[in-house]
Every structure is written in C-alpha cells, then in structure tokens.
Structure 1
C-alpha cells in the first residue's frame, strides 16, 4: 500500500516534470535530510548513466551546502567546477563524496544536452548514501540502490526544452524548483486537479 508521503512525492515529481517540459530552465534544487540515517558519517554516491553513441547530456551539481570541502573525495569521469561537479553521459563516471550525516545536504542539479529527434535516450542521475563500511543507507531502490533518480530526456529539436523526471525512493529527499518554475508548477498542479475532477465526474 502506498503511503500518503510517497503518494505526495510522486505527485510533486509529476508537477516538476510538467513544469520542466514547458520551461527553458532545467534546474532543480535537491535537499537530503540525513537525520535518522543511523550513522554520523559516510558518503554520497552520485552518478550519471553513460552509454556510448547517444546524444551528449550533462548534469552539473552546484551551490553545494552541507558538504565539507575538505572531506575525502574519490571520483572518475567527473570534472570539478568552481564549487561543483560536471557529469557527462558519454563517459563512465562516479563521484564518492564523504559527508557528515545528521543535517541537510543540498545542491542545485542542472541538466543540459543535445537534442535527440530519434531515440529520445533518457539519462539517469542517481543519488545513493552509504556508511563508512559501504552499507547502503535509507529507504533506497532495491534495484539501483538509489535514494532518488533524476532523469533527463532531451528535446526533439534545439528549440524544444528537455524534461526532468523524478523518482524518489526515500522521503528524506525533497525538491525545490527554481523561482522561475513556480508559475509552471502551479499550472501543473491545476492540470492535475482538473484531470482528477474530470475522473470523479465520469465516475459519478
């Protein structure tokens, strides 16, 4: 049975998906409340799916908050930027960022990429948490081990914006859209409300 929290998160994710499809910005703000994970330290594992020969897509983490810049970091296929990191879907990549748990970790996640008029290849940016003994933490997806999966679907042409999809496995992960998307989020909520009312009207 689906909990009200997870049901709400799925609806928020749907609204975010509707918004990102209509807005030019492809940025979301991700927050992870690490209180209650049962350990004081560990690391986040962050990765963008990589497949050769697909249209280039990038995911950029920026505006990191709650991360210790002096903490041990191990990575490959990831480019360090000023205060953040860039991932590409055309090369194998992984970032292991040591963190102190107990507070809120947050960052902006921005997707961009080339248009894909044929296959609409979807790139997945996954976030997982582990303790210092490499034991997965939280309510993670049993297949991917991810607390959250953020997907990028490119537009069909250079004039069409790509879309961000969201699958959240752990209610500790929350989203805050960029200010410019709040209007589109409202439109998404209105569209879902109207659809719900139509369904109730047909069932009466």
Structure 2
C-alpha cells in the first residue's frame, strides 16, 4: 500500500496518453481542440437544424475538424464542400461549404472543434467557423444579425513556423458553452507527472532513512 497513490497516478497518466493517442488517430491532435455544447431548449421549437460553415477572405490554408457530434441526426441533410471521415467532418477555408444536420431540440447538442493551418507572416487574415440554428425559415436563438450565427470561432494563423496560432470566440447566444479540451488534459498530466516524481523521490528518501511513506489516499 506504500506506493498506492503512485500506482493510481501512473494508471491515470497512461489513460490520458491513450486518449491523446486516439485523438491523434482522428488527425486532429496537432490542433487545439475545444468542446462546444448548445442548449437547444432555449430555442422555443421542437426541431430544426444545426448549420456549420468555415470561410476566409484569403490567406493561408486552414482546416476545421468537427468530431464527436452528439444530439444530431445520423446523416446530414446538407453536405457540400465538406469531407466526411469515420470520426466526423473536415472543412477547408478555401472552399465554399455548408454542413446542416437535423436535430430534435430540447436537449444538448455538442461537438469537438479543432482548427489548424499554415502560418502567415502578415497575420492579417482570419478564418471564421460559424455555428447557427435554423428552423427551416428563420435563424433561432439570440443570433448575430449580420451572420445568423450563435457563435463564431475566429482562427488567426501563426506569423511563423515556430509560432502559435490563436482562436478567438464571439458568442451571441448564452446557450453556447465552450470548454478547451486538450489544455486541461495536458495540465492534469503535467501535474500528475510532477506529483508522481515527487512521491518517488520521497519514497526513496524514506527507504534510505528506514522510514515509511505516508499514503495520502487509498
């Protein structure tokens, strides 16, 4: 039982590593993944559509990967300019595109979004990923009157090969919630790794003194 906390932490780290490896298999590991959820109970209608599109006015190529879709119809009603994969969909900012999925409103619709692309020394072009709700005749929710979007994700490329890109969010409707996925996982992994290392060092020191390591949790 002496190193029980170490073993549990190591197992959790292994599970996180497996999750990140699975994300890499989806082709989105290099991007910053965010989890997007929409509370459709606020729309006031029983059903409609969730629309997504990705665009830019020029600049470097960027792609938006949408995966882990929940609360939508099994197949899209409209899919043009969008590539489908086993894990979800890929949008390009240099192609006119639209993805529209039917949905029964009243619950949570969610998906993961990852945007990545080439660097741009000028850094002046922003790519926009828009999410909207539609009932067949009108946009739903507290949408942006200029675009109809409930939320728009604005991706700015890195100014250099070694630099970092950025993702900004413009939310028009409070029904939309966004959580950064990989950052919390990586922070937890780093914290747990540091904890395991510290516990190992304490264990070795205790063993050298003939003492006993205190187990913090069973």
Match among 17, 42, 46 for residue 36 of structure 1: 42
Q: State whether structure 2 residue 165 is matched by structure 1 residue 159.
A: no
TM-score by length of 2: 0.68
1:87 corresponds in structure 2 to 91
Matched residue count: 158
> How much does 1:134 deviate?
2.1
Match among 133, 145, 148 for residue 148 of structure 2: 145
1:5 corresponds in structure 2 to none
Structure 2: state its 5+ residue gaps: 1-29, 188-218
**d(CA) in 1 for partners of 2:157 and 2:122?**
10
TM-score by length of 1: 0.72
2:65 corresponds in structure 1 to 60
Give SS of 2:42's match. coil
Q: 1:182 to 1:141 in 2, by over 3 A?
A: farther
Q: State whether structure 2 residue 57 is matched by structure 1 residue 51.
A: yes
Structure 1: state its 5+ residue gaps: 1-23, 185-204
C-alpha RMSD of matched pairs (Å): 1.8
**d(CA) in 2 for partners of 1:179 and 1:156?**
22
Larger Rg computed on CA atoms: 2
**d(CA) in 2 for partners of 1:115 and 1:51?**
16
> How much does 1:179 deviate?
4.3
Match among 115, 119, 126 for residue 115 of structure 1: 119
Does the 8 Å contact 1:51/1:91 carry over to 2? no
> How much does 1:34 deviate?
0.3
Describe the superposition over 1:92-149 as per-residue Cα deviations: whole angstroms up to 9, x where unpaired.
1111111111110111100000000014310000111011x32110000111111000
Give SS of 2:130's match. strand
**d(CA) in 2 for partners of 1:163 and 1:181?**
17
2:177 corresponds in structure 1 to 174
**d(CA) in 2 for partners of 1:180 and 1:142?**
32
Describe the superposition over 1:146-189 as per-residue Cα deviations: whole angstroms up to 9, x where unpaired.
100001000011211211100100000001111424788xxxxx
**d(CA) in 2 for partners of 1:136 and 1:44?**
10
